[in-house]
Amino acid sequence: MTRAWKVFWALVIGIPILALAAWGLHDNVRLFVITFLNGLTLASLYFIVASGFTLVFGLMRNVNLAHGSLYLLGGYLGYFTAQFTGSWLLALAAGFAAAALVGLAMQVSIFRFMPGQDLRQTMVTIGLSIVIADLLMWAIGAQVHQMSPPPWLDGPIRNLPVIRAYSTYRFSLLPIGIVIGVALWLFLNRTRVGMMIRAGVDDRAMLAAAGVNVNLVFATTFAIGAGLAGFGGVIGAVELSMVPGEDTRLLLASLIVVIVGGMGSVVGAAIGAAIFGLAETYGLAYAPTYSVVFTFVILVLVLAFRPRGILGRPA
Amino acid sequence: MESGKRTFVRTLVAVVVVVAAFSAGAFAQAPPVKIGLLATLEGPFAAGGQDSMRGAELAVRQRNGVVAGRKIEIIKASSDAKPDVAVNATRKLVEQDKVDIMVGPLSGSEGIAVKEYSKTQPSITFINGSSGAQATTLVNPSPNFFRFNTDGGQWMVGVGKAALDKGYKKVMVIAEDYAFPYSQVQGFMTEYCKLGGKVPVKAWVPLGGKDYASVIARIPKDVDALAVVLGGADAVNFLNQYEQAGGDKPIIGGSITVSQDILNYKGKRRESLVGTIAGSPIADAYEAPEFKAFVADYKKNFPDGYPSPSLFALVYYINMKATLDGLDIVKGDLSDGQKKYRDALAKMTLKTPVGDVKLDGNRQAIGTTFVTEVVKDSQGNLYNRVLKKIDNVNQTLGVPPSEFKIGSRDEPNCP
Amino acid sequence: MSAANWRRAINVQNPRPLPTSSQASARVAREAGVGRFSFENPVRARHVLVLAFLLAYPWFASPFFTYQIGAQALALGLIALSLTFLGGYGGMISLAQMTVAGIAGYMVAIFGTAATDGVTLGWPWWLAVLLGIVIATGAATFIGWLSVRTEGIYTIMITLAVGVAFYYLVLQNYTVFNGFQGEQKVFPPTLAGMYWRDATPFYYLALFWALAGYLFVVYLVRTPFGIALQGIRDNPRRMHALGFNVTAHRVAAYAVAGAIAAVGGVLFTWYNGLVTPGSVGTHWLINIFVIAVLGGMRHPVGAFLGAIVFVLLQNFAIDVIDRERFNLVIGAVFLAIVLFSRDGLLGWWTALSARLSTQRGATTWKAARGRLYAR
């Protein structure tokens, strides 16, 4: 795209957004700022879950539609760990580990035998998601499971300048998301394993030819990606509660984030999460009736004009 | 196989066959009455669906599985709160499994679809499960669809006055965007507006939306209370997020907002819920002996159920009891297109644990509503105590039928 | 449509009278041994048997089986057929086929008669059906235009997004679509003395359109357009180099699939007697995909096979296993078929018949990448 066109698009998209923002600030500053914070924190949660998804797709071209079920699994296990031990941090670790283990099992026992058959892998993940979701409901029941935040994150932060009060836990999602994002970036860009993963994303065959144990790299990546979903599940269990049906919702959200941001790119996932989280919360605050339609229209427009997403790579 | 073993097996088979023939013959005198039972066992209301099955089963167990000399055979089916799934499940029960009577469904829009289906099966009797949409019996009612439970609007009668008594002069409504909450809000606002209350803002949220931060941000500073008509996971999320965000306004609950399955959600008991008033067909702490016997029975039969039966359990119990009581009255005679049975149902006064129920001209129940308040007992469990009991609540909420409008997003209105 | 008309219609620039694309594709078709009514594809005994069974079905099956199993499978199969055509022969897996079917259903309800008087126009049923199919096909073309630049998994995602956006639109809008309640009492008319929603007439109606759709697809994939489409599926770059307008072909494929899905949608809405947001939700979007995959995407009959298995599972899984676990059964069956077969039920059938047949290579021949040409 030439520079002129880039400027043109930036203006076409940017000016209406600025105009709306100005109106929002003028109309009700508190609502605008709170919604902004809500959007960013929600985006953090979406980013954590979606980053695992994009990692798996980026390397293995595997669209893991069981990602939502892994979220649910991690969330439930985290809940029970917290009940048992009383520690939120242990719950986070348990959620991560459980989902990572299941993901590892899926990769090693099923996907390893279907190299290159992307569509078939996708269909297997659909089947797995139905089965896992129903097994969880069988074992745990259909009731709502609401995890409590740890005592040091409980309750509101009071006496804030414009917005008066804000939920401590929700606010903490922002630093958590940033830490995860930075850790992921460091892992991918500053470690040997990360280097192998990035090489594999660019050229799988060459990676194998260079003598790397590709299966091991794949297994590690899948485990990390699944673990991130489980980790996100524990975080979400406090903020949004666990109930059958959360898996489809978070899966859809991850898909949108990853597609808007570009499959295979962690930075893209961050950008996509920000766009999607802000769009959803502003929609819910200012135009709740059609808010969800707007978010999907954004997705459709992005895909129609930038089929690979904002930072995406060719499939 | 050696011949000895072969003979043994053959004898065993013969014995089994003979025993089976005898046991079949023992019931050959009066054929069992097949009753289809439909509830949502998947999807958003799955937890409520499980309890509704318990309620219906309790009615059957109280009669030891026999009514009017006939064995009761329950055939269960499941839906997921979608009308087309409910109709498919009903059609299978009626046309394939050949049930005599159909009990269900659970949710409002399913009820409307099943009512339409019932018109195509005039010789089967359909009795509601717990669906509470007003339109089911008010608009194009079906001659063989009976609802022995009151609808969503009836459940909120009395709450408007109770809210004003507590001093809530301005209320903001936060409710899900579909028929059942519309009827609940209407039930609340009809009385509230008439007595001078004001509702400046109504926030209709999409069903299943989990993030209430934006709605919470929109709560104006000067409202006295929030009328929250959300169910299931949505209610839990909202209450949790509201408290975390530092909100402290009192809450007026819809019937499924503070029902047992919400008060018992797996998580820390929310102290903030204490004092919430709501309208409901059930009140956990109702003192009448029939109700206490019902609760004791529920606890004895279902040790893995809730500490106290939920709204769904009670309502399904009432409808199943009506089904069986009707069969008793006609002595199990379902001949002649079940005409006698339907007449009996239309005329009978049903005795329920919470009071008497009669049917109006549209085969809709006229029954009892409770205004409740959430309190904590000595063990720290939350339950609903009775503030007021209102009998003979009819479907038009006391308004003349010609003036009555079914609840919608904009009706009623008193900003 | 003749080859020359087709070329004109898609505006292929071809100034020199070299062997034209359509002549080339026709030659390929001849060499591959497939023709429109050639003797390489006779009507076999099994075709006659199946047809006879389908025609005679209502006479020995109960009304429940005729209506809820037979007619539902045919209507769903028709919608899945649109996906089999688009995905199997066009290489574009679209999850929005149920959306198109739902649009047709909603239009029939809005323009015709339905329960809520406020939102329906009450026009005659044939006009409503016609409008429904036209509008749905238009919508499918629009979806195709949006998705045409994407490939593979991106196409799945964008069509899923369109489907979910439509779901939320009809869920939240009350003035046109009546929101959560949807349109109830959308029934077929009473014609020629018969109420077409009764089990047997409706079954024959569904059978007629299912057969029509099936034969249409079987015919279409052997025409120059169909062959070109399969070429585009396998190697779009080469087809573009040969002078085919790849985008136009793809959008046309979406339109054709949309028309098929629209007819199926009208039938399915009449079957249910209602159309609600739940009918076009994520659950159903994925179900159609599951049906098409279950049966196999290599031949149009796979869609109907998948539909029959799906409908049987939906109705009878609940009898086989505990009431609440039938989702598990459906998921497990789907998983088993996907894990152990390369192409659903048809894949098993082909493998079985290849093993049983003595002539190797006579039944099917595959391109290097394992895909099948029209046979």
Chain C residues touching residue A257 (CB < 8 angstroms): none
Provide CB contacts within 8 A for A166, sequence distance 6+: A34, A37, A156, A157, A160, B245, B246
Instruction: Decide which of B16 and A97 is more confident.
Output: A97
Chain B residues touching residue A38 (CB < 8 angstroms): 211, 213-214, 217
Q: Which long-range contacts (CB under 8 A, 24 or more apart) does A298-302 make?
A: A298/A260, A299/A256, A299/A259, A299/A260, A299/C158, A299/C161, A299/C165, A300/C146, A300/C158, A300/C161, A300/C162, A300/C165, A302/A259, A302/A260
Chain B residues touching residue C274 (CB < 8 angstroms): 83-84, 87, 113, 116
CA distance C180 to B44: 15
* A36 in contact with B, Cβ within 8 Å: no
Can you give B205-233 as a three-state secondary structure string? Answer: ECCCCCCCHHHHHCCCCCCCEEEEECCHH
User: What is the fold of B33-149+288-367?
Assistant: Rossmann fold (3.40.50)
Chain B residues touching residue A249 (CB < 8 angstroms): 208, 210
What pLDDT score does C364 carry? Answer: 45
* A160 in contact with B, Cβ within 8 Å: no
Instruction: Decide which of B305 and B35 is more confident.
Output: B35
Residue environment code for C331-358, b if the CB has 16+ CB neighbours within 10 A, otherwise e: bbbbbebbeebebbbbbebbeeeeeeee
CA distance C40 to B392: 77
Question: What is the share, in percent, of chain B residues with pLDDT greater than 90?
Answer: 29
Range with the largest mean pLDDT of A194-203, B339-348, B374-383: B339-348
* pLDDT tens figures, A293-304: 888 888 777 777
Chain C residues touching residue A262 (CB < 8 angstroms): none
State the CATH architecture for B154-285+369-403.
Answer: 3-Layer(aba) Sandwich (3.40)
Side-chain-side CA neighbours of C148 within 13 Å: the count stands at 20
Chain B residues touching residue C273 (CB < 8 angstroms): 87, 113, 116-117
pLDDT tops 80 at residue A247? yes
CA distance B235 to C287: 30
* B178 in contact with A, Cβ within 8 Å: no
Contact between A32 and A24 under an 8 Å Cβ cutoff? The reply is yes
- State which residue of chain A sits closest to B212, comparing Cα positions: A284
Chain A residues touching residue B211 (CB < 8 angstroms): 38, 42, 240, 280-281, 284
Domain membership of residue A310 (yes or no) is: no
Cβ–Cβ gap B240/A146 under 8 Å = yes
Six token digits for residue A179: 């830490």
Which residues are paired to C184 by β-bridges?
Answer: C274
CA distance A306 to C150: 9
- CB pairs B-C closer than 8 Å: 84
Under the banding of pLDDT at 50, 70 and 90, the label for residue A22 is confident
Can you give C160-176 as a three-state secondary structure string? Answer: HHHHHHHHHHHHHCCCC
Helices marked H in B302-347 — which ranges?
311-329, 335-347
Cβ–Cβ gap B41/C115 under 8 Å = no
What pLDDT score does A177 carry? Answer: 92
CA distance C151 to chain A (A): 8
Under the banding of pLDDT at 50, 70 and 90, the label for residue A310 is confident
Neighbours of chain C (3+ CB pairs under 8 A): A, B
What pLDDT score does B283 carry? Answer: 84
Instruction: Decide which of A309 and A40 is more confident.
Output: A40
Please name which of B168, B175, B149 lies closest in space to residue B256, comparing C-alpha atoms: B175
Query: What does the mean pLDDT of chain A come to?
Result: 85
Query: What does the mean pLDDT of chain B come to?
Result: 84
Domain layout of chain C by residue ranges: 22-279
Best of B202, B207, B216, B266 to substitute, by most chain A Cβ atoms within 10 angstroms, is B266
What pLDDT score does A174 carry? Answer: 92
Domain layout of chain B by residue ranges: 33-149+288-367, 154-285+369-403
pLDDT tops 70 at residue B339? yes
What pLDDT score does C324 carry? Answer: 63
Please name which of B155, B327, B124, B346 lies closest in space to residue B254, comparing C-alpha atoms: B155
**Rounded mean pLDDT of B150-178?**
90
Full pLDDT tens readout for chain C, 375 residues: 566 666 666 655 544 444 455 555 555 545 444 444 444 456 778 888 888 888 888 888 888 888 888 899 999 999 999 999 999 999 899 999 999 999 999 999 888 877 766 667 778 888 889 999 999 999 999 999 988 888 777 788 888 888 988 998 888 887 888 877 778 778 888 777 777 878 888 999 999 999 999 999 999 999 999 999 999 999 989 999 999 999 999 999 999 999 999 999 999 999 988 888 888 988 899 889 989 988 888 889 999 999 999 898 888 877 777 656 767 887 888 888 888 887 788 888 888 888 887 555 444 444 333 444 443
Cα-Cα-Cα-Cα dihedral sign, residues B98, B103, B107, B109 = positive
CA distance B118 to B115: 5
* A148 in contact with B, Cβ within 8 Å: yes
Q: CA separation (Å) from B129 to B107, B152, B178, B316?
A: 8, 13, 19, 5
Chain C residues touching residue B179 (CB < 8 angstroms): 180-181
Helix (H) or strand (E) run with residue C306 in it: helix C301-320
Best of B176, B201, B214, B241 to substitute, by most chain A Cβ atoms within 10 angstroms, is B214
Q: CA separation (Å) from A198 to A187, A206, A262?
A: 11, 12, 15
What pLDDT score does C22 carry? Answer: 56
Provide CB contacts within 8 A for A86, sequence distance 6+: none
Provide CB contacts within 8 A for A64, sequence distance 6+: A53, A56, A57, A125, A222, A225, A226
* C328 in contact with A, Cβ within 8 Å: yes
Please name which of B145, B133, B44 lies closest in space to residue B103, comparing C-alpha atoms: B145
CA distance C32 to chain A (A): 27
**Rounded mean pLDDT of B144-165?**
91
Neighbours of chain A (3+ CB pairs under 8 A): B, C
* B117 in contact with C, Cβ within 8 Å: yes
Phi, psi dihedrals of residue B163, rounded to the nearest 5°: -65, -45
Provide CB contacts within 8 A for C178, sequence distance 6+: C116, C118, C119
Provide CB contacts within 8 A for C260, sequence distance 6+: C78, C79, C81, C82, C85, C213, C216, C217
User: For chain A, what is the domain count?
Assistant: 1
What pLDDT score does C106 carry? Answer: 92
* A280 in contact with B, Cβ within 8 Å: yes
Helices marked H in C221-300 — which ranges?
224-234, 236-242, 246-272, 282-295
Provide CB contacts within 8 A for A173, sequence distance 6+: A41, A42, A44, A45, A235, A239
Phi, psi dihedrals of residue B384, rounded to the nearest 5°: -100, 120
Neighbours of chain B (3+ CB pairs under 8 A): A, C
**Rounded mean pLDDT of A222-237?**
93
Best of A40, A140, A146, A170 to substitute, by most chain B Cβ atoms within 10 angstroms, is A146
pLDDT tops 90 at residue A169? no
Nearest to B84 among C62, C276, C327 (CB): C276
What pLDDT score does C346 carry? Answer: 85
* C169 in contact with A, Cβ within 8 Å: yes
Provide CB contacts within 8 A for C321, sequence distance 6+: C328, C329
Nearest to C338 among A127, A296, A304 (CB): A127
* C190 in contact with B, Cβ within 8 Å: no
Phi, psi dihedrals of residue B189, rounded to the nearest 5°: -75, -30
CA distance A284 to chain B (A): 6
**Rounded mean pLDDT of B82-110?**
89
* A287 in contact with B, Cβ within 8 Å: no
Cβ–Cβ gap C161/A256 under 8 Å = yes
Chain C residues touching residue A280 (CB < 8 angstroms): none
Q: CA separation (Å) from B10 to B6, B287, B376, C290?
A: 6, 61, 64, 46
Nearest to B214 among A38, A148, A164 (CB): A38
* A137 in contact with B, Cβ within 8 Å: yes
What pLDDT score does B176 carry? Answer: 87
